[in-house]
Amino acid sequence: MLLKNYTDDKFIRAYNSFANKDSQFYLNEEEFYMYSILFTNQMMDGSIRTNVDIINQILYPIKFIKDDTKNKTKIRNLISSLINKKVLIVENDIKLTKNYSLIELTINDIELSNDGIDDDKKINNGYKNFAKIPFSKFLEFKSTRDYYIYFLVAKWGKGFKCSHSNWAELLGLKHRESAIRIIEDVVNRNIIYKNIGDYNTQDNQDVNVYSISPFNESEKTKQTKKVEQQQANDKIREELNASFQSDEYVKDLNDVIEIFQTYKDEYGNNIFPDDCDYAFYLEVKDNIKDRKPTPLEKKFIQIADKRMGYLKNNSQFQKEYENGERLFKEQQKEKLSNQLSNAINAIRLKTGDIVEVNKDNIDQFELDKVKSMFYSNGGHLQSEKEFVNFQYTNLKTNEIDDNPEIVKAAWESYQMLVKEDVTINVGILNGRLVKMIDKKCGIVDPFSYEANIPSPEMSQEIMIDMFNEINEIDNDQSKKSSPIKYFEDVDIVF
């Protein structure tokens, strides 16, 4: 099939009636694909002159049936069905009995345009009531189902709201689960795009919305952003896992396995793992904390655990293991430093993952999934603070007062600062960020001027305290009877 003339300004008229099960023009996926093939073969006068043999050769890369004879029978049946449904009009007297018989067809555009339209809005010429599917897009599809699903979504310009049960009905499936699997597959392959329904106040989930083009950030729901972030994290984790299988990592595993399972050298001298070996053991344990270990990692952990079980009461082992722990922590600190060296701002999720954040992605994260923020003490990010630690400490109990509103305010204030594209340093943390939190929560700085203006009630309490202090050194009994009377006799100016 010649592709050079199939530009985006040439398109298939995919009439809305084709997807309406109540219409006489309703088409299944194979009928719709056959209609589209015939549409692309219209001549200048709008007619279609073809035969079954030609169509059988045109059907590439999609064929209904691999066997040519059976495929031609299928083509003839589909054309007959389109004629019977009056989607196509036969313009010659030749019956479709031979595969080489030339048949002349036209598309019943007027009836298709007016189907389901009020009488006062019907047309006598021209076209309406259809979606445009570019020829170039049509040629990309490798299955009739992919193409049909694309059409079902394309006819809704502002997005197609559809439940999985409705998808099952539209695709002629008996089970909702089959629809879920099929739609997830086409979404994963970017045939169509999905905006996941959010949960409403009744804790029910809204219906998903589908589109033939990606949703922009302002259109995406919270659930979509949440899933996309999880997918991004999974991708990072997969990349990390792939790095774990590097030749160097595999070699290190084999080398340390040899050390842990060797008890004596060739001269009969005892061999013990050292601090570096224990640091590597801790590194492998950390690598697999959020995933399944590879067979080699699993073998190493089993051998190492067995050896350490034998050595647990050995003082030299305890010393080497403690040194290994310190070495591992230093390595993790260096690894974290390298990870944060080029980041403007970053957060740690409760899963332990560290994610760089900026004005474009900060709103994708929800507080209940976030543990802490990183900030700078000068240079790149190197310090960390948990959001729960923005809560105030009770001076009497020396414990943090549980106040979720402050934690929420801290997160929202942090989001606002991240959108300014400025690295949050210790000055911003203890200055602007804390003030923003206090303002959101209506907290007044206890050392501010406003906090120290006494109320009328406080003024009276202050005066009573002043009287009691004076009364301790004043032996005049007449003044001790009534503190209020005492102040009545004295002019006090505030």
Find which of 179-183, 433-437, 477-481, 487-491 is predicted with most confidence, using mean pLDDT.
179-183
The answer on pLDDT for 423 being more than 80 is: yes
Pick the range with the lowest mean pLDDT from 184-198, 203-217, 381-395: 381-395
The answer on pLDDT for 72 being more than 80 is: yes
Spatial contact of 171 and 151, defined as CB atoms under 8 Å apart: no
Given the structure tokens 């060296």, which residue do they identify? 341
**All residues at 6 or more sequence positions from 179 whose CB lies less than 8 Å from its CB, including other chains:** 164, 165, 167, 168, 171, 173
So where are the chain's domains? 11-144, 246-338, 341-441, 456-488
Give the per-residue pLDDT at 244. 53
**All residues at 6 or more sequence positions from 259 whose CB lies less than 8 Å from its CB, including other chains:** 271, 273, 277
- Average pLDDT in the chain: 83
In the DSSP assignment, the letter for residue 44 is T
Give the per-residue pLDDT at 58. 85
φ/ψ of residue 180, rounded to 5: -55, -45
Q: How many other C-beta atoms lie within 10 A of the C-beta of residue 196?
A: 18
**All residues at 6 or more sequence positions from 56 whose CB lies less than 8 Å from its CB, including other chains:** 68, 71, 72, 75, 99
Q: In whole angstroms, give the CA distance from residue 33 to residue 141.
A: 10
Q: In whole angstroms, give the CA distance from residue 142 to residue 185.
A: 14
Spatial contact of 351 and 229, defined as CB atoms under 8 Å apart: no
- Biggest distance spanned by C-alpha atoms of the chain: 131
Burial zone of 334 (CB within 10 Å; 0-12 exposed, 13-18 middle, 19+ buried): exposed
Spatial contact of 122 and 114, defined as CB atoms under 8 Å apart: yes
Spatial contact of 91 and 105, defined as CB atoms under 8 Å apart: yes
Find which of 9-13, 54-58, 190-194 is predicted with most confidence, using mean pLDDT.
190-194
